[in-house]
Amino acid sequence: MSSKYDHIETAAELVQEVRAHGLSTAQEDICRAQDIFGNTSVEELARLANDIGRNNDQGEPDPKGSWSSSRIPTQGTFYMIAFSIWNWETATHFWNEHTNPQTETLRETKKLLAGKERQAKELTAKLEQALEDRNTAENAYNVLADKYQDASRRAEEAEAEVIRLKAKLYDYIAKEEHTA
């Protein structure tokens, strides 16, 4: 048996044919449409799935474009075919992977999250290093404070000894003057 789509070679041609004449539901036509989509690159299918007839500022087809073009959009026809010839899970997966605007937002959010997680790890490492440095400095300060207190105590003891010796010397000199 032959299909009315036997003369069609590419998914773009199939989309044009279906847009012009509708999708045939004959089994051999559905199988031929599956073959055509199956032999088309994912990039080409994604291009057809995202063509809304708009261009970007450089005149290139862009699903987020703001400039009207002379192209007739292929997105609606593409997904009508896809949901007719593919399992609904496969078609939904393709939509989510290549067309759903929330997917791009999710990817950007994941990238941002990964960056923030990396930044948080770096900051955590810096904080841990700063805490370690603080503990080291605090320990060094405590050692120096102990040494200072010990030195102050010894200096006071030495000063007291000097005063005691001066008093002894004075007493000795005063005693010598009285006896002489």
- Rounded to an integer, the average pLDDT of 149-172 is 94
For the chain, the 3-state helix, strand and coil shares in percent, each to the nearest 5, are: 75, 5, 25
Contact criterion met (CB below 8 Å) for 71 and 63: no
Confidence of residue 63 (pLDDT cuts 50, 70, 90): low
Contact criterion met (CB below 8 Å) for 91 and 79: yes
Contact criterion met (CB below 8 Å) for 13 and 39: no
pLDDT in tens, 28-47: 999 999 999 999 999 999 99
State residue 124's pLDDT score. Answer: 97
Q: With pLDDT > 90 as the criterion, what percentage of the chain qualifies?
A: 73
Which of 92, 96, 115, 116 lies closest to 105 in space, CA to CA? 96
State the average pLDDT for the chain: 90
Does pLDDT of 67 surpass 60? no
pLDDT in tens, 105-153: 999 999 999 999 999 999 999 999 999 999 999 999 999 999 999 999 9
CA distances from 112 to 16, 102, 104, 105 (A): 40, 15, 12, 10
